[in-house]
Amino acid sequence: MDERLESQPEQPGSNSPEMTVSELAGHLKRTVEENFAFVRVRGELGRVVLAKSGHLYFDIKDEGATLNTVMWKGSAAKLPFNPEEGLEVVAEGRLSTYPGRSNYQMIAERMRPAGLGALMQLLEERKKKLAAEGLFAQERKKAIPFLPAVIGVVTSPTGAVIRDILHRVRDRFPVHVIIWPALVQGERAAAEVEAGIRGFNALKPGGAIPRPDVIIVARGGGSIEDLWPFNEERVVRATADSVIPLISAVGHETDMTLIDYASDRRAPTPTGAAEMALPVRAELMAQVETLGGRLSRRLVGTLEKRKLELRSASGRLPKLDALLQGPRQRLDMAAQRFGGSLSRMLARKRARFDQAGGGLRPAALRREIAGKRSEVARVSARLKPAMERRIRRLREALAGQARVLESVSHQRVLARGFALVTRSDGRLVRSAGSLADGDKLRLRFADGERDAVAGASAPPRGGDAGQAPGGPEKVRPRIRKRVRDEDDQGNLF
């Protein structure tokens, strides 16, 4: 047996060390990642899945092969478009392996639609979607103020665009310009432009930083890829949500982006945006001067016309002396008549006063007062007996009513040994069936009140209830003598 084993030829690689599956998978992973540290792949998207974690899983395929691809959450959030199945894309990243399934995959870091046709198709689909939401509706657009005091500009602070806008503002009508620096190209451009628009709208009127009266979003010309940040939904929605009127000035006159549809005005160039926002100061001054001259000439002409009309009307009026001559004569005649009549009236009044004063003597007044007093005494002597009789009859009637009231009072019933049963809240108990065991009661007797509980029984004192210790007590009949007064009205009980 041992001879046969020793005689067999030795197999190639039989002295190689053994590896575990994990070790082999690790070697393969390092080999793939070192040799394919950067790849750029073009193909069609298939099986696009956005996980709850934010990671994006998809396939890039063509007619002959399929490449499993994963894009981590940080890179997927920066995508300038919405990945959809069937869209042709160009992805950049590195190759790696997934030992758990013995397959290789691509870890994509960047991705963009492949070709101008794909971008235009994506742009058209996004335009239809936003238009269906009403973001481009004409009734949403606001009027640009005629002469804004503050202009806010969202653009790159280092480009030629901002210099052109500032130069045009100085030439036309110098006002306060606030610049919100933002990238206008690249992955972060859309987020920064959105932040600029919403940041200007968040400023409070009268704050430390003045709130713009109009916003200009500006960028120079470029390819569709360069202008793509202004086609992003976040920028378009921020433009539509802006309370401050907004002018878009992106690209040249032939360049159209989605922000142009959502803005209140579109300018063909950044310089044109400054011209839309501000009038020419020199032209305004010339116009004001022209209007002022026309107003002055019109005012002078109107005054001259009114003067002529006044002179013509005054020539037809009568003289003042002729107007006052008749009233003056009537006044003189009335004054003469008034003087004589006033003297005669005073004489008559004085004579009547003297006549009345002669009859006012103290002795006569005393006699009249004494007569009135004696008359009052006679009337009082006649009325006093009648008043006393009236008062006596009323008192007797009142006493009779009091006796009737006392005869029907429940106090008499209580004095006869009855009790008034009420609940703890004061309501009257009219029947035993309305009570439940344990209800708290209040017993009112003729000489006081006691508390009781329904259904409770007390032990007999010294024997059976109702029986004295020495034997049954004889009940003596109690005879009540009814005394009826002469004025008693009877007793209901």
3-state secondary structure 363-377: HHHHHHHHHHHHHHH
pLDDT above 80 (res 123):
yes
pLDDT above 70 (res 9):
no
User: Where does the pLDDT of residue 246 fall: very low under 50, low under 70, confident under 90, or very high at 90 and above?
Assistant: very high
pLDDT above 60 (res 12):
no
Site of tokens 């016309």: 305
pLDDT above 70 (res 421):
yes
Q: Is 194 helix (H, G, I), strand (E, B) or coil?
A: helix
pLDDT above 90 (res 382):
no
Pairwise pLDDT comparison (140 vs 407), residue with the higher score: 140
| Percent of all residues in the chain with a pLDDT value above 90, rounded to a whole number | 33
pLDDT above 50 (res 462):
no
Pairwise pLDDT comparison (168 vs 351), residue with the higher score: 168
The per-residue pLDDT for 372 is: 86
Using an 8 Å Cβ cutoff, are 234 and 191 in contact?
yes
For residue 385, how many other CB atoms are within 10 A of its CB? 9
The per-residue pLDDT for 154 is: 96
* DSSP line for 19-87: --HHHHHHHHHHHHHHH-SSEEEEEEEEEEEE-TTS-EEEEEE-SS-EEEEEE-HHHHTT-SS---TT-
For 359-468, where are the alpha helices, taking DSSP H only?
362-407, 410-415
Pairwise pLDDT comparison (40 vs 426), residue with the higher score: 40
User: Where does the pLDDT of residue 488 fall: very low under 50, low under 70, confident under 90, or very high at 90 and above?
Assistant: very low
Pairwise pLDDT comparison (445 vs 4), residue with the higher score: 445
Using an 8 Å Cβ cutoff, are 105 and 141 in contact?
no
**Topology of 123-279 in CATH?**
Rossmann fold (3.40.50)
Ramachandran angles phi, psi of 391, nearest 5°: -65, -40
Question: What is the Cα–Cα distance from 150 to 92, expressed in whole angstroms?
Answer: 44
**Among 163-172, 211-220, 262-271, 380-389, whose mean pLDDT is lowest?**
380-389
Q: What is the domain partition of the chain in residue ranges?
A: 21-115, 123-279, 410-453
The per-residue pLDDT for 412 is: 76
The per-residue pLDDT for 360 is: 67
For residue 296, how many other CB atoms are within 10 A of its CB? 10
Out of 317-331, 392-406, 445-459, give the one with best mean pLDDT: 392-406
The per-residue pLDDT for 148 is: 94
pLDDT above 70 (res 469):
no
For residue 479, how many other CB atoms are within 10 A of its CB? 6
Site of tokens 């690790």: 26
pLDDT above 80 (res 481):
no
Enter the CATH code of domain 21-115. Answer: 2.40.50.140
The per-residue pLDDT for 283 is: 84
pLDDT above 50 (res 85):
yes
pLDDT digits (tens, 9 = 90+) for 283-336: 888 888 899 989 999 999 999 999 998 888 887 877 777 778 888 888 888 877
**Among 84-88, 237-241, 275-279, 438-442, whose mean pLDDT is lowest?**
84-88
| Percent of all residues in the chain with a pLDDT value above 70, rounded to a whole number | 87
pLDDT above 60 (res 147):
yes
Ramachandran angles phi, psi of 221, nearest 5°: -75, 170
The per-residue pLDDT for 166 is: 94
Using an 8 Å Cβ cutoff, are 231 and 219 in contact?
no
The per-residue pLDDT for 477 is: 46
Single-letter code of the amino acid located at 297: R
User: Where does the pLDDT of residue 116 fall: very low under 50, low under 70, confident under 90, or very high at 90 and above?
Assistant: low
Q: Is 105 helix (H, G, I), strand (E, B) or coil?
A: strand
The per-residue pLDDT for 117 is: 62
Pairwise pLDDT comparison (417 vs 422), residue with the higher score: 422
The per-residue pLDDT for 118 is: 67
From the list 427, 36, 80, the residue with the least C-alpha distance to 227 is: 80
Are the folds of 21-115 and 123-279 the same? Answer: no
Task: Tell me the pLDDT of the chain averaged across its residues.
Answer: 83
Question: What is the Cα–Cα distance from 409 to 77, expressed in whole angstroms?
Answer: 94
**Among 97-101, 179-183, 420-424, whose mean pLDDT is lowest?**
97-101
pLDDT above 50 (res 467):
no
Average pLDDT over residues 479-490: 45
The alpha carbon of residue 416 and the mean position of all alpha carbons in its chain are separated, in whole angstroms, by: 73
pLDDT digits (tens, 9 = 90+) for 46-79: 888 999 999 999 999 888 888 999 999 988 888 8
